[in-house]
């Protein structure tokens, strides 16, 4: 049964009639339908084509279904988080958690500014943020890279020498790593994601990398900030935008009060 209350997350199944969202539109912007929603012009009905949670992005007045795939299927230019397994000559073999392929190859010189004489010496267990460079070639493992294609084709990624640790891609040092659903990962990578927007406005210092394969890495100067960001990200999966804003505000206040008490 579909729950039609706007202030609640609605779980839907394929075939559910969601035409009611038209009558709920209070925005001057026309409603846009995203992933998992189909409009039939003849019947003027909106139907779900995927199972998942119905979400609304207020900035663009877009409705979409957030769904979770059991396995991540690599696509070229996807941003992923991988873990180094071993070195094989001029390559690192890495595991891609939650991936249908399991592993991939990362050339040892596929880092900004790297050469055969000056390249990262990654070890077993090191974590890297990279993009998928080659995939779906018969009898070949996917290949990933820590070199951006261009600012235009790669979402404004920062091109900095690998030795500076300031580029978008490369080794992720320190920080904490958690698993999330692939659906939530895709939502977090959207430019107007509400939980990341609220965290940024809170002025809490942190770094975050989101892999579409269902991993999130967070690094912050204090462990309390890291826990706050990770909790906010995980909680956002089952909340509306309004609930997310309230949740982030509450977490920030709790941490601020705790740190203030510790300083006294």
CA distance 118 to 138: 32
Tell me the pLDDT of the chain (264 aa) as tens digits: 233 334 456 788 999 999 998 877 767 788 899 889 999 999 999 999 988 888 888 888 889 888 877 789 899 999 999 999 999 999 999 999 999 888 999 999 999 989 999 999 999 999 999 999 999 777 788 999 999 876 545 666 777 888 888 888 999 999 999 999 998 998 898 888 999 999 999 999 999 999 999 999 999 999 999 999 999 999 998 888 899 999 999 999 999 998 887 766
| Top CATH class, 176-263 | alpha beta
Structure tokens at 65: 């279904």
Which CATH number does 79-172 carry?
2.40.50.140
CA distance 96 to 92: 12
| Top CATH class, 10-66 | mainly beta
User: Would the pTM of this model clear 0.85, i.e. be above it?
Assistant: no
CATH topology of 79-172 equal to that of 176-263? no
Q: Where are the domains of the chain?
A: 10-66, 79-172, 176-263
Contacts of 157 (CB under 8 A, 6+ apart): 148, 151, 167, 168, 169
The residue with tokens 């892999």 is 211
CA distance 35 to 48: 9
- Return the CA Rg of the chain: 21
């Amino acid at each position: 049964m579909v729950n039609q209350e706007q202030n609640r997350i609605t779980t839907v199944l394929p075939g559910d009639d969601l035409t009611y969202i038209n009558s709920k539109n209070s925005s001057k912007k026309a409603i846009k339908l995203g992933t998992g929603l189909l409009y039939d012009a003849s019947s003027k009905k909106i139907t779900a084509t995927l199972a998942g949670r119905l979400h609304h992005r207020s900035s663009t007045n877009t409705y979409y279904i957030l769904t979770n795939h059991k396995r991540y299927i690599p696509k070229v230019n996807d941003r992923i988080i991988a873990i180094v397994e071993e070195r094989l000559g001029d390559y690192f073999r890495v595991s891609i958690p939650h991936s249908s392929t399991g592993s991939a190859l990362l050339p040892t010189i596929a880092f900004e500014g790297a050469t055969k004489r000056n390249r990262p010496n990654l070890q077993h267990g090191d974590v890297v943020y990279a993009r998928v460079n080659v995939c779906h070639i018969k009898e070949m493992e996917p290949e990933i890279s820590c070199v951006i294609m261009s600012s235009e084709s790669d979402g404004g990624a920062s091109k900095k020498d690998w030795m500076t640790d300031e580029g978008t891609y490369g080794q992720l040092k320190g920080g904490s790593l958690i698993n999330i659903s692939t659906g939530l990962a895709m939502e977090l990578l959207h430019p107007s994601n509400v939980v990341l927007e609220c965290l940024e406005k809170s002025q809490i210092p942190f770094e975050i990398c989101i892999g579409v394969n269902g991993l999130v890495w967070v690094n912050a100067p204090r462990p309390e900030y890291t826990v706050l960001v990770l909790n906010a990200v995980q909680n956002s999966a089952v909340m509306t935008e309004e609930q997310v804003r309230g949740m982030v505000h509450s977490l920030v206040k709790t941490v601020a009060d705790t740190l203030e008490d510790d300083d006294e």
